[in-house]
């Protein structure tokens, strides 16, 4: 299982790559794939990159992060950015094993939302000590839903910080040996308009042969938690304990203060902090 690295830094790199993507149109560059093309997501999956989109691989993004003195995320496989729109899609993979979907009919949206709220408010105490603005969860933009055919788990949650709206839209694509984490980064007021385009883009995603959920074989590694834990804790932090809560938020984009926040709350009874709080402001 991969260890948690603050993805907020990676998100900042995505915006850097968007300017570089425009430059890449002048000629092929290592780490960049111009559509139409097929982009590899590590050794586990691939996605079709349409015309008007650019794929940047995780190695390239992490190189930007390392050069900037920021933490890197070994699980980051890449991002896709439309050349004429201000939104991005991040792909990360966690080799946590085969996640059983036995609890698919037991996802309690109210309890899961309260977990987000409790974890975020508790984490705000530590954020205050670090001089980081608090985040407050408003509610579900889209309650968690699981597709038994595609084995996709999706949800969107809305929050606020310093009077600004925040929106997280997450997809978890279950595989034979782990979970692909897909995060749509978009301004809240553009979410509904962007969602159909995002859905069409994801239709071009496929696990490699031998990696899909349907190809599970007895004896494969089984994840230690189910769908609910993927929502409340997130595979990106390993979901080491069911009491772990994570909150990741992005304010987009040009002409605004970019505030990227990744908050990891405490496990049992919030007595210990798992990971660290991360926040950053930049001008774009």
Q: What is the pLDDT of residue 104?
A: 92
Question: Once rounded to an integer, what is the mean pLDDT over residues 119-124?
Answer: 81
**Model pLDDT, residue 234:** 41
Q: Quick one: CATH architecture of 7-283? A: 3-Layer(aba) Sandwich (3.40)
| Secondary structure of residue 237 in the 3-state scheme | helix
Q: How many CB atoms lie within 10 A of CB 159?
A: 23
Q: Which residue has tokens 């994801």?
A: 202
- Are 179 and 230 in contact, with CB atoms under 8 Å apart? yes
Is the pTM above the cut of 0.85? no
For the beta sheet containing 257-264, the strands, ordered from the edge strand earlier in sequence to the opposite edge, are 246-250, 257-264, 278-283
Nearest-angstrom CA–CA distance, 69 and 62: 10
Tell me what pLDDT residue 269 has.
22
For 100, the token pair is 């059983």
Weakest-pLDDT range from 61-75, 88-102, 120-134, 179-193: 61-75
Give me the chain's average pLDDT, please: 74
Domain ranges of the chain: 7-283
Q: Which of 40-54, 138-152, 227-241 has the lowest mean pLDDT?
A: 227-241
Torsional sign, CA 30, 33, 37, 41: positive
């Amino acid at each position: 299982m991969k260890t948690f690295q603050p993805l907020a830094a990676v998100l900042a790199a995505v915006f850097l790559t968007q300017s570089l993507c425009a430059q890449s149109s002048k000629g092929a560059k290592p780490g960049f794939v111009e559509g139409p093309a097929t982009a590899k997501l590590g050794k586990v999956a691939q996605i079709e990159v349409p015309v008007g989109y650019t794929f940047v691989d995780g190695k390239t993004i992490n190189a930007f992060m390392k050069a900037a003195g920021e933490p890197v995320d070994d699980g980051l496989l890449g991002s896709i950015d439309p050349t004429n729109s201000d939104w991005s899609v991040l792909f990360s993979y966690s080799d946590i094993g085969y996640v059983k979907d036995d609890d698919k009919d037991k996802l309690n949206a109210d309890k899961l939302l309260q977990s987000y709220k409790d974890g975020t408010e508790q984490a705000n105490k530590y954020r205050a000590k670090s001089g980081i603005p608090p985040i407050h969860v408003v509610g579900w933009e889209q309650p968690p839903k699981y597709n038994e055919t595609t084995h996709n788990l999706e949800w969107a949650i809305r929050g606020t910080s310093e009077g600004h709206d925040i929106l997280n839209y997450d997809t978890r694509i279950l595989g034979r040996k782990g979970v692909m984490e897909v995060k749509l980064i978009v301004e809240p007021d553009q979410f509904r308009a962007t969602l159909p385009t995002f859905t069409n883009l994801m239709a071009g995603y496929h696990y490699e042969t031998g990696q899909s959920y349907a190809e599970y074989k007895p004896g494969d590694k089984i994840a230690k938690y189910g769908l609910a834990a993927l929502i409340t804790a997130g595979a990106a932090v390993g979901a080491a304990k069911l009491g772990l809560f994570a909150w990741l938020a992005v304010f987009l984009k040009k002409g605004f203060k970019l505030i990227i926040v990744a908050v990891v709350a405490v496990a049992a009874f919030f007595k210990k902090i798992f990971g660290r709080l991360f926040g950053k402001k930049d001008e774009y």
